[in-house]
Structure 1
Amino acid sequence: MNFPKRVNFQDSEKQLVIVGSKNPVKISCTENAFSEAFSKAFLVNGVNAASGVPDQPKGDPETYLGAKNRAKNAKKTFPEASFWVGIEGGIDDDEHGMFAFAWIYIEDRDGKSSQAKTGTFYLPAQVQKLVQGGMELGEADDTVFAQENSKQQGGSVGILTHGVVDRKAYYSQAIILALIPFLNKNLY
């Protein structure tokens, strides 16, 4: 099988990636995903960046906008970077119940952007009820599962999979998928 030529940055210095969040999970998963995708080390830092959406985004458009705004605001805060990443978790409902997911938005210094979405998973009735009552998902998880600050650890996905898939792994795959156009510049 013939794969497209892999992008290989030859810079001797590490490239800087800025995440539009100070959440350690989001920073760590971004560092892992970039290093794995490009087979090199990156310097990854987080900044407080406004999402411009409610604390608990609902639906794809609102959640995607939150990720995009976080990346764009991170770029305004720290324009010297090579990449800016926005990660926004959201919820939505369908005929099966309430489910969780996240959007990833990445922009590079040339203005090229890309996005990807995580997989989805359904939330238990007790969590759904608290979120429907106005509570943010992380807070609802902490309440139902007697956790503290779970969104900066394994998150809902980590709690519900008993640690088999934690928030870091969950986001990392979507970040790599969002990097596809940057890995294949000749195709995108």
Structure 2
Amino acid sequence: RGFLSRLNPFAKSTAAVEPTQPTEAAKATEDLKVEIEEEEEEQPVPSWKNERQSLTPEQLEESIRSAAAPFVDTASTFHLNKIELIDPKIKFQVLKAYVVSTGHEIPNKDLASIHTLRDLYSTVQRLDQEARALPENPKGHVVAEWFDKNKTNLPPNMVFIPYKKSKGIKVEDRKSTNKRFL
């Protein structure tokens, strides 16, 4: 037996290990019969986000106020810029409640710039305007432009299908198609 094997706690010792006999407590647990009730049907967990809704400025302000109402006092002031979201815990509770109720996603890069409910309002309006400004066709997409440019050199079974999360194209639909480069 070497020097390092004495330091290794997992090394086998030279002494024989005696087999242990079950104790009385172990025998008592063997005799114990336990019935476990299983739930009848497990409901699938619903998504915490609703479908994205297009909102007018009045509806947007009302949805922000209703999402923030359980966490901050929105009834005491009329102006959204006076309702501050200083505490990060409350801020993210308000943001999650807003996302759940409207389906609008707020990118991570914009989270740090939201300090009041007015900031949330202006951020959502800006994101909505940017989403409306995007063209419906995939022009402007780098891969789509490459496919258009090299269409004559590509086999006919290769097509470009843009993946747009906002369009609702599901992963299952993308897998069921027989196209390449989805």
Q: Which has the higher contact order (CA 8 A, sep 6+)?
A: 1
Query: Which is richer in strand?
Result: 1
User: Which has the larger Rg?
Assistant: 2
Could you tell me the TM-score, scaled by structure 2's length?
Answer: 0.20
- TM-score, normalising length: structure 1: 0.20
Bigger helix fraction: 2
